[in-house]
Structure 1
């Protein structure tokens, strides 16, 4: 038994894609060697069409012939559902429980030295001292953890999952918030803010501007508190979960320490997760309204800047 597959041949032409789509090795879209994503400012040769898909030529790739949906090139096939938006419907309910994930940047870079935000220059002249002595923003995550990618189109999800964050759409926010975000989120250099918005922020119940404004405010409140000062003073030393939770109780109110969770790796504190409730802009109030949490990590070293080994 054999099958005959009929292709519609079209004249070879070079076209610019209208979407940043994944380019697959096969018709079934089950494999994408090197995670190739079409670039909108680059033309591609279209070889043929078959059942709503185009076979194109991607120079420099192996295999060079790839399959993409025809809507990647045809603007008449782009619907409102396929367009990524930085805004959320105003009738969407605000997330009631969230985790504010803050990273200790020095520890993060010990195991992620290749990241842009982890490269240190001999001529930095003190630049980067903030991220080396404070917690930095990883993300603000609506709960439960399964609540991700709300009303996001398939192509954007694929871009995000393949780490093509720089190809995600630019996000709208006030200049003041953007400047503050870059300060408290070193991962901005790698497009982390785009990833955090598309995966988590779209489920927050607001637009991207409010989402990041809240996340930045909470991060700054933590760093400007006695908790932030404590971690700066303890750089190079061991800190226990019991110490951290007691300090939260003294700083933000009795019981808030039970809303704090530590993340550790190789004996270092890598992140601190704060379980927040809703209905306030005050970090202490949000912690008091958050859910109590358990912490597998019972303590660790507050890592110094620079690579230790």
Structure 2
């Protein structure tokens, strides 16, 4: 009995001490461009600087390296801090500097690119996806179905395939859309791991804040 207890303690100690692998920087299969619907975020974060009456609609959440088999690398080493010049570049893309720093540390470090190149790639990815006119700030209907949101994006982005994006909800409220892109930022079909997460029926689309 004592033998098994000692063995269990040794295994537990090794398991606890060994760091969990977060993936290798630069080793991934495709990107997800995540665009957050700012009014929904602001419902639960009214004090955030993103929510200071700027009238945002979709804003950049991040450009995420992903694995085709599912999952993603995260917080890859080495963890480098952004310089002031890099922060200034990123501040043009992200709604807040706090989000920029978080996204670089968690996702950007896994791209295999130095910060300015990753930010430049993010800028290109943003430019590659056209937001439908019906989902522009101050022009949105109060509700749509997830399939209708997908159809609007496909109509505005003819090269996007039938399975090139996912709509994400919090309950019955639009939270974000995720667009699958190749490593060269062409539209790509999303694997099963990237799929819409909304209930059936109409999805509420909060007004701009």
Q: Which runs of 5+ in 2 are unaligned?
A: 1-24
**TM-score normalised to the size of structure 2?**
0.71
1:253 aligned residue: 158
Match of 1:300 among 184, 203, 209: 203
1:163 aligned residue: none
Match of 2:86 among 173, 178, 181: 173
Q: Which runs of 5+ in 1 are unaligned?
A: 1-91, 121-127, 157-167, 281-285
Q: What aligned pairs does 1:263-274 form with structure 2 within 5 A after superposition?
A: 263-274=168-179
Quote how far apart the aligned CAs of 1:187 are: 2.3
CA contact (8 A) 1:262 1:297 kept: yes
Using CA pairs under 8 Å that are at least 6 residues apart, name the structure with larger relative contact order, 1 or 2.
2
Does structure 1 residue 186 correspond to structure 2 residue 95?
yes
Match of 2:42 among 91, 98, 109: 109
Quote how far apart the aligned CAs of 1:264 are: 1.2
Q: What aligned pairs does 1:1-309 form with structure 2 within 5 A after superposition?
A: 93=26, 95-120=28-53, 128-129=54-55, 131=56, 134-144=57-67, 145-152=71-78, 169-170=82-83, 172-173=85-86, 178=89, 181-188=90-97, 191-222=98-129, 225=130, 227-232=131-136, 234-253=139-158, 256-280=161-185, 286-288=186-188, 290-291=190-191, 293-298=194-199, 300-306=203-209
Deviations 1:165-203 (A, max 9, x none): xxx55364396xx2xx43442122xx2111111111111
